[in-house]
């Protein structure tokens, strides 16, 4: 199984941003199961460390927006997080969804019955002082995925510090340097992929070509609109990260 083995139609990969998060509460098992059913090539998730050192899939620093609780993720134990409802903010039909452990997401992807990748974004890199990256690599190593050999797991961050730490711990893992504002492009092997946001690409479409000229593969987030899919295809973007994996997958397959 290689990285290319799960390339999507037309060679463009579709990565489900926080799962099929347009339909389901982000980062929940339901969102990821839907994304797998929708034909996503890979699942994007943000990881944070709980107070007792468990890797959980949560985007925000606080639980307030996506749960019925209040507080800072890294100040709460896994047990406290697991007691919260991470579904009902999205509507009554999603009530009772629980916080997802990264390891459970990994098991879900591995059990998909086809190659489904994971694009793991590390959050709060400086605050946890490297513990998050170490725990991520430990979990991956437990599943034989820390050397990148299966091509299923990639790590992503806006932080050079986090990516360099990960590169030292697991040099074989493909790494994606996320870019919010125009910055100097990263170079392999520190990162082999660059991930600019769609706002940046709309403003500066030439950025994609400049990144590719440096030998980087390019993925763009978050691409939910047809015009943005078309723009990315014209520019030769390799991977689309989207909240709507089914629509984007179907659009690419029809095109
Ligand atoms: O996939 C990259 C994208 O997720 C980065 O932004 O804020 O959604 O984590 P954010
Ligand atoms: Ca993210």
pLDDT value of residue 3: 31
46 CA closest ligand 1 atom index: 9
pLDDT value of residue 161: 87
List, in order, residues 6 or more apart from 23 with CB less than 8 Å away. Answer: 31, 34
Query: Would you say residue 139 has pLDDT above 60?
Result: yes
- 45 CA from centroid of ligand 2 (Å): 6
121-125, 126-130, 132-136, 172-176: which range is least confident on average? 126-130
CA neighbor of 223 nearest in space, from 253, 254, 195: 195
CA 39 vs CA 79, 146, 205: distances in Å: 32, 24, 28
Per-residue pLDDT tens for 200-240? 999 999 999 999 998 999 999 999 999 999 999 999 999 99
Compare 3 and 210 and report the one with higher pLDDT: 210
Q: Does the ipTM surpass 0.90? A: yes
Enumerate residues with CB within 5 Å of ligand 2 (an ion): 46, 121
Best of 43, 44, 66 to mutate for ligand 1, by most ligand atoms within 8 A of CB? Answer: 44
| Segments making up each domain of the chain, as ranges | 3-47+103-254
- 46 CA from centroid of ligand 1 (Å): 8
Cut 0.90: pTM above it: yes
Q: Does domain 3-47+103-254 have CATH number 3.20.20.190?
A: yes
Question: Region 65-69: what's the mean pLDDT?
Answer: 98
Best of 13, 15, 17 to mutate for ligand 1, by most ligand atoms within 8 A of CB? Answer: 17
Q: Which residue has its alpha carbon closest to ligand 1 atom 3? A: 221
Q: Which residue has its alpha carbon closest to ligand 1 atom 10? A: 59
Q: Which ligand is nearest to the CA of 45?
A: 2
Cα atoms in the 13 Å half-sphere on the side-chain side of 115? 15
Active-site annotation, residues: 17, 59
């Amino acid at each position: 199984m290689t990285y290319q083995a799960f390339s999507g139609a037309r060679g463009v990969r579709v990565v489900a941003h926080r799962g099929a998060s347009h339909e389901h509460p982000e980062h929940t098992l339901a969102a990821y199961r839907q994304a797998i059913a929708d034909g996503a090539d890979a699942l994007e998730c943000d990881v944070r460390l709980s107070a007792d050192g468990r890797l959980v899939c949560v985007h925000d620093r606080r639980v307030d927006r996506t749960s019925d609780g209040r507080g800072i993720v890294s100040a709460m134990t896994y047990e406290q997080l697991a007691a919260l409802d991470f579904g009902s903010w999205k509507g009554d039909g999603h009530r009772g969804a629980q916080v997802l452990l990264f390891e459970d997401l990994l098991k879900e992807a591995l059990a998909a019955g086809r190659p489904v990748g994971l694009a793991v974004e590390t959050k709060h890199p400086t605050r946890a002082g490297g513990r998050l990256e170490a725990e991520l690599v430990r979990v991956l190593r437990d599943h034989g995925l820390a050397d990148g050999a299966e091509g299923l797991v990639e790590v992503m961050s806006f932080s050079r510090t986090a990516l360099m730490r990960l590169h030292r711990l697991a040099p074989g893992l493909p790494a994606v340097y996320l870019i919010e504002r125009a910055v100097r492009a990263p170079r392999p092997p520190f990162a082999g992929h660059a991930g600019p946001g769609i706002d940046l690409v709309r403003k500066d479409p030439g950025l994609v070509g400049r990144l590719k000229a440096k030998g980087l593969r390019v993925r763009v987030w978050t691409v939910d609109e047809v015009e943005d899919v078309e723009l990315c295809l014209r520019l030769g973007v390799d991977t689309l990260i989207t909240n709507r994996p089914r629509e984007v997958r179907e659009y690419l397959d029809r095109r």
